[in-house]
Structure formats: C-alpha cells, structure tokens
Amino acid sequence: AQSVAQPEDQVNVAEGNPLTVKCTYSVSGNPYLFWYVQYPNRGLQFLLKYITGDNLVKGSYGFEAEFNKSQTSFHLKKPSALVSDSALYFCAVRDNSGAGSYQLTFGKGTKLSVIP
Amino acid sequence: DAMVIQNPRYQVTQFGKPVTLSCSQTLNHNVMYWYQQKSSQAPKLLFHYYDKDFNNEADTPDNFQSRRPNTSFCFLDIRSPGLGDAAMYLCATSREPQGIQPQHFGDGTRLSIL
C-alpha cells in the first residue's frame, strides 16, 4: 500500500526566512509525487510535481521541492517566505508501477504560518 | 479560464433530509472525483467516474451515491445525511486516472447538518 507522512502538523516561520515543509512517502514501485496548497474555504491548488528526471523541481509561487529516493522524501521549500504563503499544504503520492493503487494518497497536511 | 465549479459553496440540510451537491467542469477531463474533507484533515476519496464507469471506494458508506449524466457534470447525492457527514466536499478532475497530470479541484461545498 502507498502512504505519505507529513511529520509536522504546523510550521511557523518568520517572513523573509526560508521555509521547509517535510514529506516522506512509501510505495512499492516508483512514485509520482505532488504538492498542493489549500487556503481557507478553498479547494486544493496544485503547486508542483515530480515524475522523473531532475530531482529538484520548481513550481508555482517560488516553491520548489527536492526528490530524494534514498530517503524517500519530497520536502517542499521556498527561499524567502511571504505572509501570503500561510496555508495548509498537502503532499500526495501515486505509485506508477501499476501494482499500486491508481488513487492519489494525501498526507494529513501541514499548516504553515508565516509571521510578519 | 477552464475550471471546476461547485455549487452551492455552502449547503445546510436537516438530519436525514436528502441533499445533492453539484460539480461542473470546462476542462473536458475524463475523470471526475468526489472527496470528503473534515476539518484540517486530508481529503478522503469517496468515488470517481472514468468516463461513464463508476468506481466506488471500498469504505464509502452506501448513503453516498453519485451520478454523471455527461462529461461536464457530476453530482453527489447523500440519501440520509447524519451529523457525521458534515464536511467540505471537494470535486476534482483529471485527464486520466493514473496519469502524471495533477488533479484540478473545485473550491468545495461546505455541508452543515442541523
């Protein structure tokens, strides 16, 4: 079975400082990995994905994520946090081996608060 | 802009009174999904349609049903809502169910049960 862990329920960071939101995954085959952001009373918005190739992927709003196969991680990063980045962040995984579920499995989410 | 639209954004119903939530898309995607999301939790997949083929998750209660009359529209029917069904319901679409493209989400319908 595939699974995602987001070990931190909440991350607080000062505006202008770098931010990291952690994600680790487990799949039987190779992973397709995604990050989504959710603002209050809104749906999930796609930020970035890793499918194959370069381990560092760049996405919307200055976010990037690094795929680390040996550590089975896909941490979300941004060099300089903005107050407007405050939101709920979800990591998600799909197993591309065909043996796993077609379904997208989400982590429980990490609430990011950027302090002015 | 191509998008996923959910109506209404807020829905209040009475305990046991049937309710229908709607979703439409202009993306012309093959797959439409319904998720249930309770406060600050991960979205939980209820079911999805791949074209006209309906796929129910094993742990989705019988109380929840869905209809997809055409490519653009999909409905979530809750036959007899209980207090535990109060949640945000999210509709999403994708081109293929196992593809590399991300799912596109609507802004959700927040359902309250009186």
CA A89 – CA A35 distance, rounded (Å): 7
Strand partners, A85: none
Of the two residues B96 and A57, the one the predictor is more confident about is A57
List of chain A residues whose C-beta atoms are within 8 Å of the C-beta of residue B88: 41
List of chain A residues whose C-beta atoms are within 8 Å of the C-beta of residue B3: none
Would you say A37 and A91 are in contact if contact means Cβ atoms under 8 Å apart? no
* Mean pLDDT, residues B105-112: 96
Which of A43, A49, A96 has its CB closest to that of B106? A43
Chains A–B, number of C-beta pairs less than 8 Å apart:
53
Is the confidence at residue B40, as pLDDT, over 90? Answer: no
CA B33 – CA B5 distance, rounded (Å): 13
Mean residue pLDDT of chain B comes to 93
CA A5 – CA A72 distance, rounded (Å): 10
Q: How confident is the model at residue B68 (pLDDT cuts 50, 70, 90)?
A: very high
List of chain A residues whose C-beta atoms are within 8 Å of the C-beta of residue B107: 41-43
Would you say A36 and A104 are in contact if contact means Cβ atoms under 8 Å apart? no
Is the confidence at residue B99, as pLDDT, over 80? Answer: no
Q: Is B58 on the interface with A (CB under 8 A)?
A: no
- Minimum mean pLDDT among A32-41, A91-100, B82-91: which range? A91-100
Q: How confident is the model at residue A1 (pLDDT cuts 50, 70, 90)?
A: confident
Q: Is A94 on the interface with B (CB under 8 A)?
A: yes
* Mutation for B interface: A45, A48, A102, A113, most B CBs within 10 A: A102
Contacts of A10 (CB under 8 A, 6+ apart): A110, A111, A112, A113
Q: Do A34 and B102 touch (CB under 8 A)?
A: yes
Is the confidence at residue B31, as pLDDT, over 90? Answer: yes
CA A23 – CA A2 distance, rounded (Å): 13
Q: Please give the pLDDT value at position A35.
A: 97
Contacts of B47 (CB under 8 A, 6+ apart): B33, B34, B54, B55, B56, B57, B60, B64, B66
* Mean pLDDT, residues A101-106: 79
* Mutation for A interface: B103, B104, B110, B112, most A CBs within 10 A: B103
Strand partners, A87: A112
Is the confidence at residue A3, as pLDDT, over 60? Answer: yes
Would you say A71 and A24 are in contact if contact means Cβ atoms under 8 Å apart? yes
Task: Round the CA-based radius of gyration of chain B to a whole number and report it.
Answer: 13
Q: Please give the pLDDT value at position A101.
A: 58
List of chain B residues whose C-beta atoms are within 8 Å of the C-beta of residue A104: 45, 103
Q: Please give the pLDDT value at position A29.
A: 85
Distances, alpha carbon B32 to alpha carbons A8, A55, B23, B106, in Å: 31, 30, 9, 11
Q: pLDDT tens across A41-59, in order?
A: 899 999 999 998 999 999 9
Q: Please give the pLDDT value at position A102.
A: 67
Which among B10, B59, B56, B51 has a CA at the least distance from the CA of B34? B56
List of chain B residues whose C-beta atoms are within 8 Å of the C-beta of residue A106: 42-43
Q: What is the DSSP annotation of chain A? A: --EEE---SEEEEETTS-EEE--EEE-SSPEEEEEEEE-TTS-EEEEEEE-SS-SEEE-GGG-EEEEETTTTEEEEEESS--GGG-EEEEEEEEETTSSS-SSPEEP--EEEEEE-
Which of A32, A102, A111 has its CB closest to that of B100? A32
